[in-house]
Amino acid sequence: MRELAFEVLRAVDERDAYANLVLPPLLDKARASGGFDTRDAALATELVYGTLRRQGTYDAVLAACTDRPLREVDPPVLDVLSLGVHQLLGTRIPDHAAVSATVELARRVLGDGRAKFVNAVLRRVTAHSLDGWLERVAPPYEEDPEEHLGIVHGHPRWVVSALWDALGSGRTELEEMLAANNERPEVTLVARPGRSTTDELLAAAEDSRPGHWSPYAVRMAEGGDPGALEAVREGRAGVQDEGSQLVAAALADAPLEGPDSRWLDGCAGPGGKAALLAALAARRGAALVAAEKRPHRARLVVRALEGNPGPFQVLTADGTRPAWRPAAFDRVLVDVPCTGLGALRRRPEARWRRRPGDLAGFAPLQRALLTHALRSARPGGVVGYATCSPHPAETRAVVDDVLAASGTGATAEWIDARPLLPGVPELGEGPDIQLWPHRHGTDAMYLALLRRTA
């Protein structure tokens, strides 16, 4: 299973693969070839995710245990070393077992010479616990708070800084949030209304529990396999974070006068929110148009909407050059491309791949998509602007700019989104809402609701 974890780390490193996409098929293959049980799968997953999340911390430890700069260590050797450090400092695997299993892995995948190097370095790592190393490799908080927290919680310094800006809190809550980014999220199911019920999912998924906030959510027990559930296989239910469910439900429930029969999801791929919106639209006799620019993601939307009981259409279309008439829709969602800083717990390598410039990089597209969303709604219609980033540059600043801009061809006013997430506490001062992993157990989804006025 360590070899499998190594294979995933190499794919992430060499071809910028996503661990959450590469790992599952490898686990399936290992299960199919036998001798690989649920515990092995859980350990392999933990090794991959834990190693990737804490890459910066482990690099700092390794830099202190090698006599050459880390950039001169071959990447495959560094991957084996990081796997070893994670076992030593981030799991309960006894030191001798962690070292010998990692050296054995090194022998198989790197050869005897480099295995000796791995052995020597890992023995140095065993000199201290994680806390002992952090005291040695992280600067004191008082000297450099962001660098300190970055190394202690395994986040790049600029990400600590960006999340701190977004949260606007003191040290304690910031640390709770950074720690939440390092926890594996529970697998949450959505019972698509009219197609499945939470009761059906609760009965089918052993030890599952109702969601915290969304009326459509069921939380699976640790190790539960969504693919084993008939409702999921048939597309009547799906896997979806509660934050995403709340965003779709709030848009669907926003007060609206006049017709309510044409809904648009303008950034639909891969189709999670579109599937929930389409099911909610069907119950109300409305039709959903789901648009997505990238053809392969549009195909995923087609799959996600298959079997939806009401009318829908999937378009491969650029939301900034709409393929539909202006003012054609009563409700519009744009869940825009963003840095994903609010979903770091889901994509363990993402925090190390993003660059500070990305925050500003998405801004023109985000503004254009929101502008066109407003033009696509009829006067009186509702527009939801969502991101899975909590950073003000991608959230409130975009909405404020678009509302203030002249020449957009559409004016709009805020709708208070908070009452549309009933029972959910600590959503912010409104009228928009911000969810947080450490407060709500969801991704850090942002939602602004607007009504087109003219």
Ligand X SMILES: C[S@@+](CC[C@H](N)C(=O)[O-])C[C@H]1O[C@@H](n2cnc3c(N)ncnc32)[C@H](O)[C@@H]1O
Residue type, 399: V
241 lies in the site for ligand X, by CB under 6 A: no
Q: Which is nearer to ligand X, 267 or 433 (CB)?
A: 267
Piece in contact with ligand X (CB under 6 A), picked from 3-11, 93-101, 269-277, 393-401: 269-277
| Residues 325-354, interacting with ligand X (CB under 6 A) | 335, 337
59 lies in the site for ligand X, by CB under 6 A: no
Point out the catalytic residue in the list 27, 278, 388, 402.
Answer: 388
Query: Which residue is listed with tokens 């926003």?
Result: 254
When binding is defined by CB under 6 A, the residue of 318, 328, 363, 438 that contacts ligand X is 318
Q: Is 271 annotated as a binding residue?
A: yes
Q: Is 292 annotated as a binding residue?
A: yes
Q: Which is nearer to ligand X, 26 or 386 (CB)?
A: 386
Asked if 447 and 273 count as a contact pair (C-beta separation under 8 A), the reply is: no
Q: Is 65 a catalytic residue?
A: no
Token output for 393: 């540059």
Token output for 337: 């491309």
Distance CA 371, CA 366 (A): 9
Token output for 237: 């239910």
384 lies in the site for ligand X, by CB under 6 A: no
Of 300, 297, 310, the C-alpha closest to 289 is 310
Of 278, 336, 334, the C-alpha closest to 303 is 278
209 lies in the site for ligand X, by CB under 6 A: no
When binding is defined by CB under 6 A, the residue of 56, 215, 226, 270 that contacts ligand X is 270
When binding is defined by CB under 6 A, the residue of 268, 288, 444, 449 that contacts ligand X is 268
Distance CA 285, CA 279 (A): 10
Q: Which is nearer to ligand X, 148 or 262 (CB)?
A: 262
When binding is defined by CB under 6 A, the residue of 79, 241, 292, 358 that contacts ligand X is 292
Quote the distance between the C-alpha of residue 121 and its chain's center.
34
262 lies in the site for ligand X, by CB under 6 A: no
When binding is defined by CB under 6 A, the residue of 62, 187, 237, 267 that contacts ligand X is 267
Q: What are residue 105's phi and psi, to 5 degrees?
A: -60, -45
Name the 3-class secondary structure at 331. Answer: strand
Of 16, 37, 57, the C-alpha closest to 347 is 16
Q: Which is nearer to ligand X, 219 or 273 (CB)?
A: 273
**Min. distance of Cβ 451 from ligand X in angstroms?**
21
Asked if 435 and 246 count as a contact pair (C-beta separation under 8 A), the reply is: yes
Q: Which is nearer to ligand X, 103 or 305 (CB)?
A: 305
Question: Mind giving me the DSSP string for 221-244?
Answer: PTT--GGG-HHHHTTSEEE--HHH
319 lies in the site for ligand X, by CB under 6 A: yes
The residues binding ligand X (CB under 6 A) are 244, 267-273, 291-294, 297, 318-320, 335, 337
Catalytic residue numbers?
A: 388
